[in-house]
């Protein structure tokens, strides 16, 4: 799901830029992003609730949209697409490496006579080999 501003809100962002000017809105963006950073830390520590956190994210989101208008929406959209594609490629690499590591781990378990199975994308140990005493005389 992506969050989009309604067209009427776009006009409000333009009005804010025309009313207060770009420099003032740069300052406001700094303030809102700073408050969002603080809110992230407070939310992680349980000091603020989801509603307050969402409010700060919304303020930062509005200012990010206003900055996109300032710098050029097409340029920002191109960068968003580029960065999302790069993220997708990185995730594919991580998932592939994780899959390879799991296959290797599964093979090592089987080679050690440990009964294991795949379940819901994870390795589950279903049985251990019998324990052999170190000294055969103890048997």
How much is the average pLDDT of 109-113?
76
Residue 29 contacts residue 67 (beta carbons within 8 Å): yes
| Residues whose CB falls within 8 Å of the CB of residue 35, separated by 6 or more in sequence, listed in order | 56, 59, 60
Q: Of 35-39, 54-58, 91-95, where does mean pLDDT reach its minimum?
A: 91-95
The whole-chain average pLDDT of the chain stands at: 86
pLDDT at position 95 is 78
How much is the average pLDDT of 38-57?
97
Q: How many CA atoms lie within 13 A of 125 on its CB side?
A: 9
Q: What is the pTM of this model?
A: 0.69
Orientation of helix 50-71 relative to helix 22-44, angle to 10°: 150
Distances (CA, A) of 39 to 10, 45, 71: 25, 10, 26
Binned at pLDDT 50, 70 and 90, residue 31 comes out as: very high
pLDDT higher than threshold 80 for residue 57 = yes
Give tens-digit pLDDT for 69-98: 999 999 999 999 999 999 999 888 877 878
- The ranges assigned to domains in the chain are 1-71
pLDDT at position 135 is 63
pLDDT at position 1 is 58
């Amino acid at each position: 799901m992506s969050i989009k501003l309604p067209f009427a809100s776009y006009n409000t962002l333009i009005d804010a830029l025309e009313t207060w000017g770009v420099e003032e809105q740069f300052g406001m963006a700094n303030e809102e992003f700073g408050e969002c950073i603080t809110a992230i830390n407070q939310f992680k520590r349980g000091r603020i609730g989801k509603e307050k956190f969402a409010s700060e994210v919304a303020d930062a989101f509005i200012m990010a949209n206003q900055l996109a208008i300032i710098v050029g929406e097409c340029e920002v959209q191109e960068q968003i697409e580029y960065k999302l594609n790069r993220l997708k490629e990185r995730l594919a690499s991580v998932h592939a490496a994780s899959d390879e590591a799991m296959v290797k781990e599964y093979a090592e378990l089987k080679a050690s006579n440990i009964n294991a199975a795949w379940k819901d994308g994870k390795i589950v140990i279903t049985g251990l080999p019998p324990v052999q005493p170190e000294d055969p005389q103890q048997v």
